[in-house]
Structure 1
Amino acid sequence: MSLPLFESFLTTTEMSQVFDDANVVQAMLDFEAALAQAQAQEGLISNETAALISNHCKAEKFDIPALVIAARRAGSMAIPLVKALTQSVAGENKEAATKVHWGSTSQDVIDTGSVLVTRQALKVIDNDLAPLCARLLDLAEEHLRTPVLARTLMQPAQTTTLGFKMVNWVAPLIRSRQALIDLAEMSLQVQLGGAIGTLAVMGEKGPAVARRVAHILELSPAQGNWHTQRDNWIRLGLEVAILTGSLGKIGKDLSLMSQGEVAELAEPTGQGRGGSSAMPHKRNPVSAMIALAAAARTPQKAATLLATLPQEHERSLGNWQAELAEWPGLFLSAHGSVSALREAFSGLVIDADRMRRNIDNLQGLIFAEAVSVYLAQAIGRPAAHQLMEELTGQTLAKQCHLADVVTETVQNDPDLSGKLDIDVVKSLFDPVKASVSAQQLTTVRLDELRQQLRA
C-alpha cells in the first residue's frame, strides 16, 4: 500500500505494512486456502486438491497492480483475484481448479481477509497502547503531589496535581483498550455464506465447513453470514475512532502545556525532532501534532462507517465498498497517534518549578473559592462571596497577592479575627495543601486503573 506523501508521515511503517496491498491480498488468499482445507476435512474435496490450491495461495505469485486495475472494471477485488488463482491452479491441475473458491462468494473472501488484517492492526496498536498506558500511570504516581494549574474554558481555575491530570488522560485509553478486546472477540469472525448467505452450494456440510474455516484461521465462528449485518464490525471501527479522539485530547493538552509562555511540559528533543527550517530556537511538539492531526481526520471516517450501515438486501451496492475504503485510515491514524505519544511520554520533560511559578504568578486569585468557603463559617456564604469579590478586585488593582489582602482584612475586622485562624487562612494559599483532594482521588484511581490494565 503506497500512501500519499502527507499521509505517510502521520502514521507508522508497522501499520502501513499491515494494510499493504500484498498483505491484504495474502489475507484473502489465506481464506481461500482455509476454505479448501476445511472442505477437504468435511469430505467435499480431496486432500490432494486442497493441498494444491493452498500451495498456490501465495501473494507473490500474482501481479497485484494488475489485479487492482481489473478490480475497477469487475467491481470487486475478489473477482480478478479468484480468477487469477483459478488460472494458477489450472496450470498444474485443471480438475483441481474447478474447486477453487467453491461454494463461496466475493464478499466472503474480502470480509474474512479484512478481519485477518484487522486482527494484525489491533495487535500493532496494542503493542504501543499498553506501554503508553503503563507509562502514564507511572508518571501519575511519580507526580501524585506535584501541583499544577487547572484551567477551565482556557482560563486559570484552581490547583490540581499533574498526577490527577494524567489519570484523567489515561483512563479513557484503558477503557478503549478493554472495549477493543471485547469488540474484537465479537467482530473478528469468519465470513462464509456463499452467494446470498445460505451456504446453498455446500448443502448440509456448509455450517461445518464454516466452523472449520474459523478454526483454521483462528477466528471466532459466526452464527451466520454478516454480509449486510455490519453492526458489530462497525462498533469495532468506531471504538478505534474513540481511542483516536482520546489520544487527541492528550495531544491537545500536551501542546498547550508545551507552549513557550506556559512551558510546563516538553517533548523530548534530539535527532532533528521538532526543529524548524527557519528558527533554530523552536521546539515543536511533533507528537502532539500527529495526535491532533489524527483526531481531526477521524470523525469523517467514523461518520462514513455509520452512513454505510443501511445496506441493501443481501449485498450492498456502494455502502460496503465505501466502508472497505475508509477502514484502513482509521487504524493508520490511530497507530500514528498512539505511537507518537508513546515516544513523547517516554522522554517527557516535566518542569515542576515552572508549574509552581505559573501558579504563584496568579497573585493567589485561584484560591479565592477556598477562602470564601472558610470565611462563610464566620459571616455566611452570601456575605463571604461578596467580600471575596471585593478583595479580589483590590488585589488586581494593587497588583499584590490575595493572601496579603485577605490576611490584613481578617486581622482588622473584629467580626472575623475572633472567629478565624490566620494560620488556616494562610494555609489555604498552599498549592500542595489545596490539591489534597486531587491527591486522594488519584491514589484510588491509580489502583483501579492498574488492575484494569493488567486484566
Structure 2
Amino acid sequence: MSLPLFDRFLAPADAAAPFDDVALIQAMFDFEAALSRAQAAAGMIPAASAAAIASVCKAELYDLNALAEASSRAGSLAIPLVKELTQTVSLYSGEAASVVHKGSTSQDVQDTAMALCTRRAVDAIDTVLGRLIGSLLDLAERHADTPVLARTLMQPAQVTSFGLKVLNWTAPLVRSRARLREAAARGLALQLGGAIGTQSGLGTHAPAVVAHMAEALGLAVAPSPWHTQRDEWLRVAMEAAVLAGCLGKIGTDLALMAQAEVGELNEPAAPGRGGSSAMPHKRNPVGALAAVATAQRTPHRAAALLAAMGQQHERGLGTWQAELAEWPGLFIGVHASALALADVFIAPDVHPERMRANIDALNGLVFAEQASALLAPVIGKARAHSLLEQLSGDVVSQNKPLEALMLAAVQSDPALKKVDVAAVKRVFDPQVALAAARRQFDDRLPALRQPD
C-alpha cells in the first residue's frame, strides 16, 4: 500500500507492510490457490487443475499497476485479477482455466484477502503490544514508590506514585490486547458465499470446501457467508479503534509530563530525534506525537466504517467499497502508534527529582484533604474543612508551607490541642501519602503480569 507522504511520516514501513500492494494482491491469489486445492480435495475439480492454478497464484507474475487501473473500470479489483489468472492458467491447461474461481465471487476474494492482511496486521500489533506492555510493567515496578503529582482537570490534585500512573496506562492495553485477539478470532473469517451468498456454485461440497480453505488460510469459519453481515468484522476494527484511544492517552500524558516546565518524563535522546529546524534546545516528544495523531484520526475512520454497515441487499454499492478503502488506515495507524510508544518505553528518561520538586513547589497544598481529615475527629468535619480553606489561602498569600501554618494553628488553638503533632508531619510526607497507591499497585500488578 503506497501511503501519502504525511502518512509515511506517521507510519513506518513496518506498520504499512501488511496492507501494501503486493501483500494485498498476493492475499487474493492465496484465496484462489486455496479455493482450487479445497475443491480438488472435495472432488469438485481434478487435482491437476488445482496444481496448475496454484502454480501461477504469485503476485510477482502480474502487472499490479495494470490490475489497479483495470479495477476502477471493472468496479472490483478481483475482476481483472481473476481474468488475468484465468488467461495465465490457460497457457498451461485449458481444463484448469475452466475451473478458475469456480463457485466464488469477487467479494469472496477481496473480503478474504482483507481478512488475511488484517490477520497479519493484528498479529504484528499484538507482538508490539507485548513488548510495550512488558516495558511499561517493568517501569511501573521500578517506580512503585516514586511520588508524583496526580492531576485532575489539568491541575495538581494529590500525590500518587509514578508506578501506579504507569500501571493505569498499561491496564487498558492489556484489556484491549485480549479483546482484539478475541474479536479477531471470530471476525477474521473466510468469505465464500458465491454470487448471492448461498454457495450455490459449490453445491453439497460447500461445507468441505469452506473447512479446507479456512484451515489452509488460518481463518475462522463464519456461521454463514457475511457479504452484507458486517457485525463481527466491524468488531475487529472497533477494538483496534479503542486501542488507538488507549495509546493516545499514554501519548498525551507523556507529552504533558515532558513539557520543560514540568520535566518529569522524557523520551530517550537520540541523534536526530525530536529536534527543531529553528531552536537547537528543543527536545520534542515525537513518539507521543505519533500516538496522539493516530488517536485524533481514528474516530473518523471508525465512524466511516460504521457508516458503511448499511450495505444494500446482498452486495453493497459504494458502502462495501468505502469500507475496503478506509479499513487499512485504521490498522496501520494503530500499529504505528504502538511502535512509536514501544520505542519510547524501551529506555525513557524518568526524573524522580523533578517529580518531587513539583510536589514541594506547591507548599503542601496537595495534602489539604488529608490534613482536614486529621482534624475532623477533633473539631468536626465542617470546621476542619473551613480551617483548611483558610490556611490554604494563607499559603498562597504568604508563600508559606501549609504544614508550618497548620502546626502553628494546632499550637495556638486550644481546640486543637488533642491533635498529634507527629501525625501532622506524617500527613505532609509524600512517602506516607503513597500508602494507598502502593496497596492498589500491589493488588493489580499480578493480574497484569499474566503470561500471554
TM-score by length of 2: 0.99
2:208 aligns with 208
Per-residue Cα deviation, 1:67-116 (whole angstroms, up to 9, x for no partner): 11111011110001000100111122222111000100000000111111
What does residue 448 of structure 2 align with?
449
| Counterpart residue number, 2:285 | 285
Alignment of structure 1 residues 18-417 onto 2, 5 Å:
18-417=18-417
Measured in 2, the distance between the counterparts of 1:15 and 1:151 equals 34
Q: Distance in 2 between the 1:212 and 1:282 partners?
A: 57
State the AA in 2 paired with 1:52: A
State the alpha-carbon separation in 2 of the partners of residues 250 and 434 from structure 1: 24
1:21 offset after TM fit, Å? 0.5
Give the distance between the partners of 1:70 and 1:441, measured in 2 at CA.
Answer: 60
Q: Distance in 2 between matches of 1:274 and 1:101?
A: 51
The Cα of 1:12 is off from its aligned counterpart by: 2.1
SS at match of 1:160: strand
- In structure 2, how many angstroms separate the alpha carbons of the residues matched to 1:300 and 1:148? 35
Greater shift, 204-213 or 53-62, is seen at: 204-213
Distance in 2 between the 1:253 and 1:221 partners? 41
Letter matched to residue 100 of structure 2: V
Query: Structure 1 segments of 4 or more deviating over 6 A?
Result: none
State the distance in 2 between where 1:148 and 1:391 align: 23
- Answer whether contact 1:144 1:442 (CA < 8 A) is retained: yes
Residue 439 of structure 1: CA displacement?
A: 0.9
Contact 1:104 1:193 in 2 (8 A): yes
Once the 2 structures are TM-superposed, how far is the Cα of residue 219 of structure 1 from its aligned partner? Answer: 1.6
| Aligned-partner Cα distance in 2 for 1:328–1:155 | 38
**Contact 1:27–1:117 (CA under 8 A) maintained in structure 2:** yes
> Counterpart of 1:323 in structure 2: which amino acid?
E
Q: CA deviation at 1:2?
A: 1.4
- Residues 24 and 117 of structure 1 are in contact (CA less than 8 Å); yes or no, is this contact kept in structure 2? yes
Which residue of structure 1 lines up, in the alignment, with residue 423 of structure 2?
A: 424
Of 302-311 and 402-411, more deviation after overlay is shown by 302-311
For residue 218 of structure 1, report the CA deviation from its aligned partner.
2.0
> Does the aligned pair in 1 maintain the 2:159–2:434 contact within 8 Å?
yes
1:271 positional shift: 2.0
Matches of 1:190 and 1:106, distance apart in 2: 13
> What is the DSSP-based 3-state SS (H/G/I as helix, E as strand, rest coil) of the residue aligned with 1:200?
coil
Q: Report how far residue 156 of structure 1 moved.
A: 0.6
How many angstroms apart in 2 are the aligned matches of 1:354 and 1:393? 25
SS in 2 for 1:201: coil
Which amino acid in the other structure matches residue 308 of structure 1?
Answer: A
Q: Secondary structure at the match of 2:449?
A: helix
Letter in 2 for 1:332: I
- Alpha-carbon contact 1:12-1:335 (below 8 Å) kept: no
Contact 1:147 1:435 in 2 (8 A): yes
Work out whether residues 105 and 194 of structure 2, in 8 Å CA contact, stay in contact via their aligned partners in 1. Answer: yes
CA contact (8 A) 2:15 2:333 kept: no
Which residue number corresponds to residue 439 of structure 1? Answer: 438
Aligned residue type for 1:448: A
2:302 & 2:234 partners in 1: Cα distance? 9
- Checking the alignment, whether the CA contact within 8 Å between 1:12 and 1:332 is kept in structure 2 is no
Separation of aligned partners in 2, 1:15 and 1:337: 9
Equivalent residue of 1:363, what SS?
coil
CA distance, structure 2, for counterparts of residue 443 and residue 13 of structure 1: 39
- The CA deviation at 1:195 is 0.3
Aligned equivalents of 2:28, 2:221: Cα separation in 1: 17
Secondary structure of the residue that 2:271 maps to in structure 1?
coil
User: Structure 1 stretches of 5 or more lacking a match?
Assistant: none
Q: How many residue pairs align between the two structures?
A: 452
Contact 1:308 1:322 in 2 (8 A): yes
- Equivalent pair of 1:266/1:348 in contact (CA under 8 Å): yes
Between 275-284 and 214-223, the greater mean CA deviation after superposition: 214-223
> Cα distance, 1:210 vs. partner?
1.2
Which digits, 9 at most, give the CA deviation of each residue in 1:387-420, with x for residues without a partner? 1111111111111100000000001111101x11
Partner of 1:5: 5
Could you tell me whether the CA contact under 8 Å between 2:144 and 2:161 is conserved in 1?
yes
Q: Distance in 1 between the 2:201 and 2:394 partners?
A: 86
2: distance between equivalents of 1:250 and 1:42? 51
Q: Deviations over 1:157-196 (max 9, x none)?
A: 0000001100110000000000011111111211101000
CA RMSD of aligned residues (A): 0.8
AA aligned to 2:420 is D
TM-superposition CA deviations, 1:337-396 (whole Å, max 9, x none): 100101111110000001000000001111000000111010110111111111111111
Distance 1:281 1:381 in 2: 50
Give distance in 1, aligned partners of 2:246 and 2:96: 51
2: CA distance, partners of 1:403 / 1:115: 62
Deviation at 1:141?
A: 0.9
SS at match of 1:346: coil
Distance 1:282 1:397 in 2: 35
Alpha-carbon distance between aligned partners in 2 of 1:432 and 1:192, rounded to the nearest angstrom: 62
Contact 2:304 2:326 in 1 (8 A): yes
Distance 1:191 1:350 in 2: 49
Paired-residue identity, %: 54
For 2:139 and 2:77, the matched residues in 1 are separated by 47
Paired amino acid for 2:62: F
2:429 partner amino acid: D
